[in-house]
Amino acid sequence: MRTVRTLLAGDHFVGNDLLEAALTSALPDVGFDFTRVTLPWPLTPYGRVAEVDEASDAEEQLIAALPGIELAITQMGPFTERVLDAAPDLRFLVCCRGGPVNVNVPAATKRGIAVSSTPGRNAVAAAEHAVALMLAALRNLPRLQKTLEDGEWRSDLYAYDDCGSELDGATVGLVGYGAIGRRVARVMLAFGARVLVVDPVLDPASPPDGTEVVALADLLRQSDVVSLHARLTDQTRGMIGAAEIATMRRGAVLVNSARGGLLDYDATVDALESGQLGAAAFDVFPIEPVPAGSRLLTATNVVMTPHLAGATKQTAQRAGSIAAEAVAAWLAGRDPFGLVSL
């Protein structure tokens, strides 16, 4: 039986016990010599660490644990150039996320270390959360709950000018059509909505079933609800600003559960205050945690959650399973699903 010296650098979401169980179940004929490090996320927020982003500040822990390690699995471990320098025997690194933002991939590649991620692990959770945000914003659920908490019975909110809107018959625009966007589209179609999609990889002449592929300007102009599902890149950063919001239907709803950098939040609050936007819902923000004094905290008709769209038990379990499948492929000499290449 082959023995693989393996570092499990889990945390309080994708835990080491979960990772070990996934590996040993998928690879019963492989002997794993485990070293374990438990990182503090999500009890301690992640941030930038040296040249990588969205990582736990744990370089020293990893440096101490990596000598002799061939295989490493993590979610939030900061695999910086400095950390990789301490891993001369490392050959395969699995990052249990949609993309390895916390890994210096060029530095790993230079050292002969293959890097894989677990794309799609949170697609179900994130899609369901996006739909929940839409519904909460359309029906103003936080405001309604607060009336009860304040001891009020606001039956007057049944009035035409104060009540919400339905998804059935609405036009919903999805900016981004990856694993999450596709799931949201299916749910929207089931609700009876018309679904418009923007994604550079889609051909307008061959739209996915039931959807319409349009230009961003047309999507913004026609949609009652706009939901962002694009990756944050140099091309998409700040893609929705004051000028874009001004072209939207007056009273439309804007939802962002992708990345805070896609959207100008000051312009969004301005639009909420003017009535250009009827409501907005966010799971992601330009600065996390949201700083005290942020205009978002006092804006009207806003639904907010603290970057928890992917937080389900099934997401963590799926991350472990996909990671184990990647390890099985690597050990068999095949390219793993989620292999990152430069």
Q: How confident is the model at residue 342, as a pLDDT?
A: 66
CATH number of 3-121+312-340: 3.40.50.720
Sign of the torsion formed by the C-alpha atoms of 35, 39, 48 and 310: positive
Name the phi and psi angles at 282, rounded to 5: -135, 140
With tokens 């070293």, the residue in question is 35
Q: 189-238, pLDDT tens digit by residue?
A: 999 999 999 999 999 989 999 999 999 999 999 999 999 999 999 999 99
Low-confidence stretches of the chain (pLDDT < 50) are none
Q: How far apart, in whole angstroms, are the C-alpha atoms of residue 79 and residue 52?
A: 8
The one catalytic residue among 288, 295, 318, 334? 288
Q: How far apart, in whole angstroms, are the C-alpha atoms of residue 195 and residue 191?
A: 11
Domain ranges, ordered by start, for the chain: 3-121+312-340, 123-304
For 22-47, the DSSP string reads HHHHH-TTSEEEEEEEE--TTTS--E
Q: How confident is the model at residue 2, as a pLDDT?
A: 79
Active site residue 121: no
- Please give the helix or strand (H or E) that residue 195 lies within, else none: strand 194-198
Distance of alpha carbon 108 from its chain centroid, rounded?
24
Active site residue 244: no
Neighbours of 298 (CB within 10 A): 9
- The single-letter code of the amino acid at 246 is A
Using an 8 Å Cβ cutoff, are 282 and 142 in contact? no
DSSP label at residue 212 = E
**CATH architecture of the domain covering 123-304:** 3-Layer(aba) Sandwich (3.40)
Nearest residue to 261 (alpha-carbon basis) of 240, 292, 291: 240
Q: How far apart, in whole angstroms, are the C-alpha atoms of residue 167 and residue 23?
A: 42
Using an 8 Å Cβ cutoff, are 90 and 72 in contact? yes
The one catalytic residue among 121, 259, 318, 325? 259
The one catalytic residue among 183, 307, 318, 325? 307
pTM here is 0.92
Q: How far apart, in whole angstroms, are the C-alpha atoms of residue 263 and residue 239?
A: 6
Tally of residues, the chain: 342
- Residue 140 makes CB contacts below 8 A (sequence gap 6+) with 164, 279, 301
Active site residue 231: no
- Residue 282 makes CB contacts below 8 A (sequence gap 6+) with 133, 255, 256, 257, 260, 265, 296, 302, 303, 304, 305
Tokens standing for 220?
Answer: 């913004």
